[in-house]
Amino acid sequence: MSIRELDTAYVAGTYKRFPVEIVRGKGSVVEDVNGKKYIDMGSGIGVTSFGIADDVWQQAVIDQISQVQHMSNLYYTEPCARLAQMLCARTGMKKVFFSNSGAEANECAIKVARKYAAEHKGAEYSTIITLENSFHGRTLTTLSATGQAHYHELFQPLTPGFVHVPAGDTDALCKAAQEHKIAAVLIECIQGEGGVVPLDAEYVKALAAFTKDNDILLMVDEVQTGNGRTGALYAYMNYGLQPDVVSTAKGLAGGLPLGATLLSEKVQNVLGYGDHGSTFGGNPVSCAAACSILSRIDDALLAEVREKSAYVFGTLSKAEGVEAVSGMGLMIGIKTKKPVAEVVAACIEKGVLCLSAKDKLRLLPALNIPTDVLQEAIGIIKEVIAE
């Protein structure tokens, strides 16, 4: 049986996969079972921050895996402690809880918000406001947080205590806060799965002021936008925000599962012994990988991300067949005249792997994609879009 046949026979059918069987790769180029090469413009949905099998990342993983691959959270291990220190030093946050995925990082944020509100305002202040068109994960609670009804339909009853308001509408936010007892607001600065839609800067400013004035926690979901993706270490930094809680995952460990929930001074001690936990959370190999990744996301790399971003925006904004380009850094959405499914399929044919989000083509290349490789991919994408 081929990989594809085996997978179809035995793996639960939750993913509509493309007919591509990847066996290896290096950097931003991957190779399929037939030896065909593809430029990877999706990096595993913003996960392989420095590409596939990057030498420095790989060495960090090998070094740690040969020392200790896992201990329970009953004992101390260095990578976990060091990564928490690095995250706090880079963000000004005070404590970190480690998990394994974006959904879990958000679950932790939600638990922190509920407990903080219960202790400071009363247990009835349990509602969390999220935005329409948002995406926060697939667990039942993060699904409830997600402001897209089509994800909800088949999985009722969902976790209660979430209200969704339209992005950009300050009045709707105020109204929701009058009608419900609110613990927190949870936002993505750029809605990723929602179609690479950045929030309006004025709206974000108003929302931040509103949460501060009303003793509501401001929580930012940086699962997709975090770790250099937008040309800042975290996207909230582009907006001048000071969130109370930040969740991140995807690109943090460069291709190993790791989620992190960053807690500001205000909420740093909300979680106590036994309040939360995760067997794999803070895994030494994932954390060693993340230490390596985070140490390389420096000012020079972020400047490079912004430069490459400017090149893509500049090239595609005025290209034939393009209606609009949105996003920030190397998180880019392209509204094309042609249906996006056709564009993605034609790109695969021509050796470029792209993502989509809603009706947009979505590009999330590795942060260190070489300029010539990026240019080649954009050239092919441009050709496909124009046809």
Q: Report the Cα 137 to chain-centroid distance in Å.
A: 10
For residue 260 the two structure tokens come to: 């992190």
Beta strand 22-26 pairing with 245-248:
unpaired
Shortest Cβ 65–ligand PLP spacing (Å): 22
CB of 125 or CB of 162, closer to ligand PLP: 162
Shortest Cβ 193–ligand PLP spacing (Å): 6
**Best CA proximity match to 185, nearest among 240, 120, 228, 136:** 136
Shortest Cβ 165–ligand PLP spacing (Å): 17
Q: Which of 32, 40, 54, 188 binds ligand PLP (CB under 6 A)?
A: 188
Q: How far apart are CA 330 and CA 235, in angstroms?
A: 12
Binding string, residues 116-135; x marks residues near ligand PLP by CB under 6 A: -------------------x
For residue 37 the two structure tokens come to: 């090469």
224 makes contact with ligand PLP (CB under 6 A): yes
107 makes contact with ligand PLP (CB under 6 A): no
Shortest Cβ 233–ligand PLP spacing (Å): 16
Q: Which stretch binds ligand PLP (CB under 6 A): 59-67, 95-103, 159-167, 302-310?
A: 95-103
Burial class (CB in 10 A: 0-12, 13-18, 19+), 52: buried
Residue nearest to ligand PLP (CB): 102
103 makes contact with ligand PLP (CB under 6 A): yes
326 makes contact with ligand PLP (CB under 6 A): no
Q: How far apart are CA 40 and CA 313, in angstroms?
A: 18
CB of 231 or CB of 251, closer to ligand PLP: 251
For residue 255 the two structure tokens come to: 């291709």
Cis peptide bond prior to 19, omega within 30° of 0: no
Helix (H, G, I), strand (E, B) or coil at 277: coil
Instruction: Judge whether 103 and 139 are in contact, CB under 8 Å.
Output: yes
Shortest Cβ 344–ligand PLP spacing (Å): 18
* Residues of the shown chain interacting with ligand PLP in the complex, contacts defined by CB under 6 A: 101-103, 106, 135-137, 188, 192-193, 221, 223-224, 249-250
